[in-house]
Amino acid sequence: MGKLIVFNFLTMNGYYKGTNDDISWHRHGKEESEFAAKNLQSDAILVFGRVTYEQMAAYWPTENAIKNQPQVAKGMNNAEKIVFSRKLKKTEWDNTRLIKENVEEEIRKIKKQSGKDLVILGSGSIITQFAEWGLIDVYQFMIDPVALGGGTPAFKGLKSKLDLELTNTKTFKSGTVLVTYKVKMQN
């Protein structure tokens, strides 16, 4: 059975997006790009909400992305992708499946049947929903050494407590720290 993994960038004060959806604060240098490219080789299914999907689909297939980050672009463009949206009518990015209904049921089915890990990139609103449903197995946060005066917090609107256990850390030369948590099993 596959795992559902969250991979997200965060500021020191817990925002995954700044004001007006700004993510320019993220320090994504060569070392972070190499890490991302290596992770994309895992054959995981990438999972998005509509907003993040539209941002990613507008960038990764472009000549600019392919020129500036060829390995990451290749991985993003070749990966199997799922976007959850009631508003989106169709998808244009290669290898993307649109799911509009029965989201919780569909994720549970995909985790059981595919045998592949699913990785949510960005997509804060679905992270909160999936956390509430108990679907997420692992949280990976790349925490940048920056604090913002405003933005969108990770887990915005979370209604219940989420107990996590630290399983790994990695520090990048930029000062960015990757922390990996698994969900603690409840007694």
* Tokens, residue 84: 């959850």
The token pair that represents 139 in the structure block = 């949280």
Amino acid at 34: E
Q: State the pLDDT confidence band at 186, using cuts at 50, 70 and 90.
A: low
CB environment 64-85: b (16+ within 10 A), e (fewer): ebeeebeebbbbbbebbbbbbb
Neighbours of 173 (CB within 10 A): 10
Domain 4-183 carries which CATH code? 3.40.430.10
**Which pLDDT band holds residue 33 (cuts at 50, 70, 90)?**
confident
Element (H, E) at 4: strand 4-10
Mean pLDDT over 113-132 rounds to: 88
120-to-87, 99, 135, 137, 187 alpha-carbon distances in Å: 19, 14, 12, 11, 27
What is residue 105's predicted lDDT score, i.e. its pLDDT? 94
Q: What is the value of pTM for the model shown? A: 0.89
User: How many Cα atoms within 13 Å fall on the side-chain side of residue 51?
Assistant: 10
- In degrees and rounded to multiples of 5, residue 126 shows phi and psi of -75, -30
Q: Which amino acid is at 39?
A: N
- Cα–Cα distance between 45 and 95 in angstroms, integer? 10
Greater model confidence, 35 or 171 = 171
Q: How many residues are recorded in the chain?
A: 187
Structure confidence at residue 114 (pLDDT): 82
User: Could you give the CA distance from residue 5 to residue 3 in angstroms, rounded to a whole number?
Assistant: 6
